[in-house]
């Protein structure tokens, strides 16, 4: 509806604007020859020149004001509509990102995703806003002006507009070149954005190895490549405007020359030549803007193509049409012949793994690096789906629940802790809507991080910095644990979540868990055996297979991976 109103305002503005040159033409003829003219009845043979010219001037001013008013409305409606359309597109793309699976994020860089969400969408806005507006304006102006020109002198109109077909051909040729160059530039910009984002995220590593100059050189090389391609595009775009001005200037010369001949022959008056010159002058920017519009359209087309590439990507995780109801009384977990191979690397993470965990049971998973421990957690959260086998939670197949429904019941603390650049309070509270200050502090108390927070100048209002850079590794882990606790989950998964915490603090946290998660199912993924003495059972993985299962006392007396790891860690403790 907004765009339709913009269309009406465009036609109204240009219709009124097309009348003014005709008034000028008739006023000039009237002033020179005192001819009888019939323009809205303002001028006739009884009107003196001074009065007639004054009336024409007032009419021209009125037409200009009215045309300008509708021009204002046109810009307001179309530009506002473009911002709304692009806001919806940006929201749709962001929401689409949110629903894509982990494989998508592994295959595509953050910088490229950000570039499509910002730069590419901005290019699309320029198309649905300014470019669309100027295109409509050009069409409406050309239509009304052409009618007025044909009405005044068909032959002069033909000669005056003769250069325009050459203009159209030029636009077509150069536009195709612009499209190819624009697409290449957007791809290069994504690469530059990715490089910059990774450099800033890893600035501590860069400084630690004194690699600033090396990264600076890489950035300079990437920037130079981008500059070279951008300059190449700028040179092509620069052809448009001189070409437009040349062709418009040619039209003006033709109008004066041919119009002069027609005046000599008595076909038209001097005012008609002035009328044509005004029309050609007014058409200068609209016709010239066709090159600019073509450039924007090509940029928008290239950007929309890049946006659609991601919008067309479907998540490999499918949700049920009618999600099953959650059985809150059953918190069991069951894996039956579960196998999983990472699609990009071909690594077999799990091979026919089967086990069951009863409601309220605390089970640990241990194994060497790369044994598939973290993959278990990913499959439970449906970050990935298994290639074969089945997983049940609460006695029901995991695929029967929606992803949101499933993940709301699970508290997960990953080994790669991520904190947002926000306050400690908000980082903890993000897992629960409308969490109170008392709930946040209680969760921090259980995670044994409250006393550390209280020592900070702003306590819970402390900004942790990007990825929690202001906190130590152990503090970040405990804040992440507090986040999982305030979530109040039915299941808790700790994926090596205490690796950066000292043994004393670790024991204190686990003792708190005994009370808090007494009736909850807890899965502890770790490489430190000495934290596992109090768990109900231990699952031992090796090369993606479940090789041992039992209590600590049982496993330590059996030959196998567990005993080997136990003895190695005992030696490390002694040393």
Inter-residue contact 530 to 517 (CB < 8 Å): no
Inter-residue contact 145 to 282 (CB < 8 Å): yes
Q: For residue 319, what is the DSSP state?
A: P
Q: What is the pLDDT of residue 85?
A: 79
Q: Domain segments of the chain: what residues?
A: 85-311, 317-409+533-575
Tokens of 100: 């894509």
Q: What is the pLDDT of residue 38?
A: 46
Of the candidates 432, 372, 392, the residue with the CA atom closest to the CA atom of residue 408 = 432
Whether the domain at 85-311 and the domain at 317-409+533-575 fall into the same CATH topology: no
Burial 87-115 (b: 16+ CB within 10 A, else e): eebbeebeebbeebbebbeeebbebbbeb
Distance CA 395, CA 490 (A): 14
Residues of the chain scoring pLDDT < 70:
1-3, 30-49, 168, 171-172, 175, 204, 208-209, 240-241, 284-285, 287-292, 467-468, 498-504, 506-508, 512, 514-517, 528-533, 572-575
Q: Report helix, strand or coil for 143.
A: helix
Entry pTM? 0.64
Inter-residue contact 192 to 230 (CB < 8 Å): no
CATH C-level class of 85-311: mainly alpha
Q: What is the pLDDT of residue 43?
A: 52
**CATH number attached to the domain at 317-409+533-575:** 3.40.50.300
What percent helix, strand, coil does the chain show, rounded to 5?
65, 10, 25
At 261-287, the pLDDT tens digits run 887 777 777 777 877 888 777 776 676
Q: What is the 3-state secondary structure (H, E, C) of 51-103?
A: HHHHHHHHHHHHHHHHHHHHHHHHHHHHHHHHHHHHHHHHHHHHHHHHHCCHH
| DSSP codes of every residue in 287-304 | HHHHHHHHHHHHHHHHHH
At 79-96, the pLDDT tens digits run 777 787 788 888 888 888
Task: Name 472's Cβ contacts closer than 8 Å, sequence gap at least 6.
Answer: 500
Of the candidates 113, 111, 108, 107, the residue with the CA atom closest to the CA atom of residue 222 = 111
Percent of the chain with pLDDT strictly greater than 90: 0
């Amino acid at each position: 509806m907004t765009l339709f109103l913009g269309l009406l305002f465009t036609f109204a503005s240009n219709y009124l604007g097309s009348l003014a040159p005709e008034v000028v033409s008739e006023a000039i003829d009237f002033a020179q020859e005192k001819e009888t003219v019939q323009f809205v009845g303002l001028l006739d043979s009884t009107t003196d020149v001074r009065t007639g010219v004054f009336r024409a001037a007032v009419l021209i001013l009125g037409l200009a004001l009215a045309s300008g008013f509708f021009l204002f409305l046109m810009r307001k409606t179309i530009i506002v509509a473009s911002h709304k359309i692009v806001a919806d597109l940006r929201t749709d793309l962001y929401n689409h990102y949110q629903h894509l699976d982990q494989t998508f994020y592994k295959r595509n860089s953050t910088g490229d995703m950000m570039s499509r969400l910002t730069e590419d969408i901005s290019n699309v806005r320029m198309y649905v806003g300014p470019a669309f507006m100027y295109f409509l304006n050009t069409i409406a102006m050309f239509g009304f002006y052409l009618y007025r020109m044909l009405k005044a002198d068909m032959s002069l109109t033909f000669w005056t507009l003769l250069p325009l077909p050459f203009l159209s051909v030029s636009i077509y040729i150069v536009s195709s070149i612009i499209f190819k160059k624009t697409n290449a530039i957007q791809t290069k910009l994504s690469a530059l954005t990715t490089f910059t984002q990774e450099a800033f995220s890893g600035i501590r590593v860069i400084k630690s190895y004194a690699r600033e100059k090396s990264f600076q050189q890489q950035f300079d090389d990437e920037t130079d490549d981008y500059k070279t391609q951008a300059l190449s595009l700028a040179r092509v775009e620069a052809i448009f405007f001189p070409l437009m001005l040349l062709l418009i200037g040619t039209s003006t010369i033709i109008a004066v020359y041919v119009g002069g001949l027609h005046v000599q022959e008595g076909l038209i008056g001097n005012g008609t030549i002035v009328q044509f010159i005004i029309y050609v002058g007014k058409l200068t920017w609209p016709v010239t803007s066709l090159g600019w519009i073509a450039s924007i359209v090509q940029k928008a087309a290239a950007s929309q193509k890049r946006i659609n590439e991601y919008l067309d990507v479907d998540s490999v995780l499918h949700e049920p049409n009618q999600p099953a109801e959650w059985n809150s009384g059953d918190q069991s977990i069951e894996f039956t012949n579960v196998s999983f191979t990472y699609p990009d690397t071909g690594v077999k993470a799990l091979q026919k793994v089967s086990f069951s965990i009863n409601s309220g049971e605390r089970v640990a998973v241990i194994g060497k690096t790369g044994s598939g421990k973290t993959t278990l957690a990913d499959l439970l959260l449906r970050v990935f789906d298994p290639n074969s086998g089945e997983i049940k939670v609460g006695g029901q197949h995991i695929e029967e629940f929606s992803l949101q429904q499933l993940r709301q019941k699970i508290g997960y603390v990953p080994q790669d802790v991520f904190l947002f650049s926000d306050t400690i309070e908000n980082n903890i509270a993000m897992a629960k809507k409308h969490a109170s200050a008392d709930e946040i502090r209680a969760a921090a108390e259980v995670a044994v991080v409250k006393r550390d927070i209280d020592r900070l100048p702003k306590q819970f209002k402390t900004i942790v910095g990007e990825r929690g850079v202001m906190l130590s590794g152990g503090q970040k882990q405990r804040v992440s644990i507090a986040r999982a606790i305030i979530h109040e989950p039915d299941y808790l998964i700790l994926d090596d979540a205490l690796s950066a915490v000292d043994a004393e603090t670790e024991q204190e946290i686990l003792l708190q868990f005994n009370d808090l998660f007494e009736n909850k199912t807890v899965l502890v993924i770790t490489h430190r055996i000495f934290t596992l003495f109090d768990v109900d059972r231990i699952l031992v993985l090796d090369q993606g297979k479940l090789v041992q299962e039992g209590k600590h006392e049982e496993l330590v007396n059996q030959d196998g991976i567990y005993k080997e790891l136990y003895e190695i860690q005992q030696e490390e403790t002694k040393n």
